[in-house]
Structure 1
Amino acid sequence: MAVTPDNLIQGPATLYRGNFGAAEPADSAINSTPAASAWSDIGGTTDGVKLVIENTYGELEVDQIVDRVGSRLTKRNTSVETNMAEVTLDNLAYSLNGGTTASGASFKSYEPNDDSSATQPAYSAVLFDGIAPQSFRRRVIVRKVLSTDSIEVAYTKDKQTVLKVKLQAHYVSPAVKTYKIVDASS
């Protein structure tokens, strides 16, 4: 197989957050910035933005054959992971699935939600734009996410403070897939 150097990609992505159900940019608008009315740029990130798709397969076997006869997809975990370099209260609230921010003449504050475990969480959506093969743009839209991991905000002498976040994708509906990837082609 010959290598096509233009298919190799490297570079950062720009991460946006939106409400669950936010209007998605048209596929034909791949080279445009998402509408500010629906999508907010979360700012700088460190160590990239990762789309992680973990498939689990159940094994099919029969007594008469020693090899695996087949496999069936039994579970899929899709997530977006990044370190938010801009440790704002808005990004903290996003990484904690909501809460209340307030501001005054000389302050801004954050308080977490105190909802019960029976309360429906505040799902959101994420979109990120990066590089695709041939130096075109690739857009990844994950339509229903929830921050699922612990959040740490470490203040250390010799390291940058970041918000490490893992946004776990969730099922939307039979008609709306969990995620979509669009590559520009010209």
Structure 2
Amino acid sequence: MSLRTVRPFLAILAVAGLAACTATPGPAPSSGGPTASSSATESASATPAPDTETTVPAPSPSAPPGPTAGPGAGNAELAIMVKPSPTEPALNYTLVCRDGVPAPESKHPKADAACAALKSNAALLSPAPKNTNRVCTEQYGGPETATVTGIVDDTPVDTSFARTNGCEIGAWTAAEDVLGATGGAS
């Protein structure tokens, strides 16, 4: 089932749920008048409100614009720390890329793949802010954590990764070449 098919259905369910839970001021129903269940049914069959999920808030004027997903210049200077577990020592890498190619000062196990990944997706290390309303699968991908700081295409980067739920595992997998570690069973 596609997202296009699901959204109208979800909007109708939301309207029906809100109508059933919302008290409407007015006269008390008479024996022959509409009941709460019939008004909920009427609301559910009405045209749903416009889709507000796709509304993107305007960036604040004080925040610098971050890179957008898609190709970038491929320039980066990053310090990467991967901690396999709380008891193991951290692995530290330096990644320097110029036009998507590793510079000689890079000390990274997958420098070619990491620079290529950053060039093909400049926003790879600038994920959207974590949404507390986002639903993530409750699965554990391992104890690994990682921190990446530096600059990608003139944009500051200071982000962390973990593998404690499905959303974080997905972000880790997307940045795996840059992190330089496979992490868990992936």
What interval of TM-score do these two structures reach, taking the shorter chain for normalisation? under 0.3
Considering fraction of residues, name the structure with more helix. Answer: 2
TM-score if structure 1 supplies the norm length? 0.26
Greater C-alpha radius of gyration:
2
Considering fraction of residues, name the structure with more strand. Answer: 1
TM-score if structure 2 supplies the norm length? 0.26
Structure with larger RCO (C-alpha < 8 A, sep 6+): 1
